[in-house]
Amino acid sequence: MSNLSSAYADALFEIATEENKLDDILSQSFSIMEILNENHDFLKLLNTPTVTKEEKTDFVDKVFKDKIDISLLNYIKVMIQRKDTQRLTDSFKAFEKMYNKHNNIEKAVATTAIPMNDELKNKLVEKLEKITGKKIILTNKVEESCIGGVILEFSDTQYNDSILQKLNTLKKQLKQ
């Protein structure tokens, strides 16, 4: 993520904070990222140098006017004017990080061989919240290669208690 993307995110965060719209802006930025991920041509159009700034701005107006907050719409238009729309997705990701830090939220990923049931997810969230002192948003990623157990990633930490990891450790020990 570039410093410029972070600078854009910082400006958006400041505006959203001043206008008391942090939750709305975050939610709407997720929706925009989803649209961009599902419609690669949309982002290509915004990044195409042969399409004028005015055409891009008109297009964004037609797609988003009265559907997203005016501050967020203007944010996108500023990026169009500065020819920085290629940084749009990264700036939204940086905004989310700022939002999470501001709200004492930590994202965690639990990788398991089969999907975790709600009871197990809730217990894990509760334990992580006690450990970190933060609100945890847990995502369960399913990877059959894990075989069993869990690989837990949070706060730049990885805890690997998977059966695959244990087998690999045993294999190394047997080789020695």
| Helix, strand and coil percent figures for the chain, each rounded to 5 | 65, 15, 20
Give the residue among 128, 116, 133, 126 at the shortest CA–CA distance from 153: 128
- DSSP letter at 148? S
C-beta neighbour count of 64 within 10 angstroms: 19
Reduced to 3 states, what is the DSSP secondary structure of residue 115?
A: coil
- The pLDDT of residue 167 is 73
Contact, 116 vs 140, CB < 8 A?
yes
pLDDT of residue 71: 95
Has this prediction a pTM greater than 0.85? no
Rounded Cα gap, residues 16 and 9, in angstroms:
10
Confidence of residue 175 (pLDDT cuts 50, 70, 90): confident
| Residue whose entry in the numeric block shows the structure tokens 């599902």 | 38
pLDDT, the chain, mean: 91
The pLDDT confidence band at residue 130, using thresholds 50, 70 and 90, is very high
pLDDT reading at 133 higher than 80: yes
